[in-house]
Amino acid sequence: MDYVDDVAMNAFTQGQSTAMTAIIQNDVSRNQLTSTLNLARTGVMYYEFPDPEFSSQPFGVNQPMIFPWSTLGIPMWPITQGDTMQFHNFSLGVGPPPYPNTLFEWSFPGAQPDTSNAPNPMVTYTDTGWHPVMLKVTDPFGQCIMWKPQYIYVQPIECHMIAAWQTLNVKANSARLWWQQEPVHYRYQIKGRSQNNPNWVTINLPPGHPPVKDVYGLQPWTGYIWQVRAFCDAGMVSSSPWTPLDGFQTLCAAPDTTAAITINSNSVRLGWNAVGSADHYRLRIREISSSNWFIIKPIYGTRRWVYGLQPNTTYVYQVKTMCDTFEEAGSVWTPFAGFTTTGTGTRLGEDTPDVSVSPNPNTGSFEISLSKPCEDGFIRIIDLSGKLVEEVFCQVQSTYQFEGYQPGLYLFEVWNEGNSTAVGKIGVR
């Protein structure tokens, strides 16, 4: 029979319809035909709200009902990406929990998890837009399915670009990256690289990490660039734009180790490890009882003789790396290191009977005379910066000529068989 309104409904007169309705309602064997439960089971009526009439019905074929929070049968109000929703099962005839012999099969496209067998599951929506929801209920008497094609609308999170960021605490091998946190931020992602390396390094920070990251293992005296962005949802779907690039340059690194390699009465040979970014080094030294530093610069290399020291005296020294020619970028000084000269030798300012300088002072030309043979030795002239000006190996003669010296104060040492035997000053006017 064609049940279209203008055909089936006009197949009977009004009187006939009234008579049949009365028979159905008054006949015990027929009066369930027009009940809400029967109409819902047969699909004649689309049942959406629980009817108190059937709240105590026994188990049977169920009409599934989905009920997220407080609304049913209408499109869900917008929720925000990343929100978690709980759906409640209000199927008819399933009885009280724990619903024995009843299987619930939920489907939530666009959510995590996207399926569930719990009566009242909780899911998190990660995909934006409209999403359907399906519930299939099965018991020993049969099954029933409810499908709502557009039930949940998920709007994207407005995850704006981070408003402020900067680099702090820059050192030779580390730096601190900081940015401004906002309430909608769930987690962060950082990427960075050195300016001479095209490969980015990405760091995914865990949820709840504060808006700061200390990075280590950097190369000294090297330029770096970095960016940060926020994710505003647990699924890392809604992200802010990357911040513009921020840059910094690590500091010049000081040598890791220093050592007094050879210690004599009036001199010392100091050494330190090489720093890859070094252009040259500075050295400063003083007696431990003095506050006046003697600075030697520039030093190209990692070894340096220092002359003109006092015998039997304790000294402290430090080394600094300079990473540019103009000495604008220097490391911190190394920690204090010390040594004590040996007890033999001549103290500066004392008479040196074995050596004489004439004339002294002079105008740039002078001679050094030795009263004792200089076997397997040499004479060194050093300026006040510690730079070796001239070195003459001892011969059979006892007098040695020196010329062409600029005005200033110089030190001389006479070395004989590996030991400094005489030390003195030379003044040039």
Q: What are the pLDDT digits (tens) for 378-421?
A: 888 888 777 788 988 877 778 889 999 999 988 888 876 555 56
Count Cβ atoms within 10 A of the Cβ of residue 351 and give its class: 0-12 exposed, 13-18 middle, 19 or more buried.
Answer: exposed
Q: What does the pLDDT average to over 80-84?
A: 80
Question: What is the set of domains in the chain, with CATH numbers?
Answer: 56-155 (2.60.40.10), 165-249 (2.60.40.10), 258-340 (2.60.40.10), 355-428 (2.60.40.10)
Q: What is the mean pLDDT of the chain?
A: 80
Confidence of residue 46 (pLDDT cuts 50, 70, 90): very low
User: In whole angstroms, what is the distance from residue 325 CA to residue 382 CA?
Assistant: 24
What 3-state DSSP class applies to 231?
strand
In Å, the largest CA–CA distance within the chain is: 154
Edge-to-edge order in the sheet of strand 66-68: 66-68, 84-89, 122-125, 111-112
The pTM for the full model equals 0.50
Q: Is the pLDDT of residue 60 over 80?
A: no
Confidence of residue 277 (pLDDT cuts 50, 70, 90): confident
Strand 419-428, strand 388-393: pairing: unpaired
Measuring CA to CA, which residue among 300, 304, 257 is closest to residue 285? Answer: 304
User: In whole angstroms, what is the distance from residue 315 CA to residue 132 CA?
Assistant: 82
Measuring CA to CA, which residue among 153, 218, 203, 211 is closest to residue 181? Answer: 211
Query: 320 with 242: CB under 8 angstroms?
Result: no
The tens digit of pLDDT for each residue in 225-262 reads 999 999 987 778 788 999 999 999 999 999 999 999 98
User: In whole angstroms, what is the distance from residue 272 CA to residue 262 CA?
Assistant: 13
The tens digit of pLDDT for each residue in 327-375 reads 778 899 999 999 999 876 544 444 444 788 999 999 999 998 887 767 6
Q: What is the pLDDT of residue 420?
A: 58
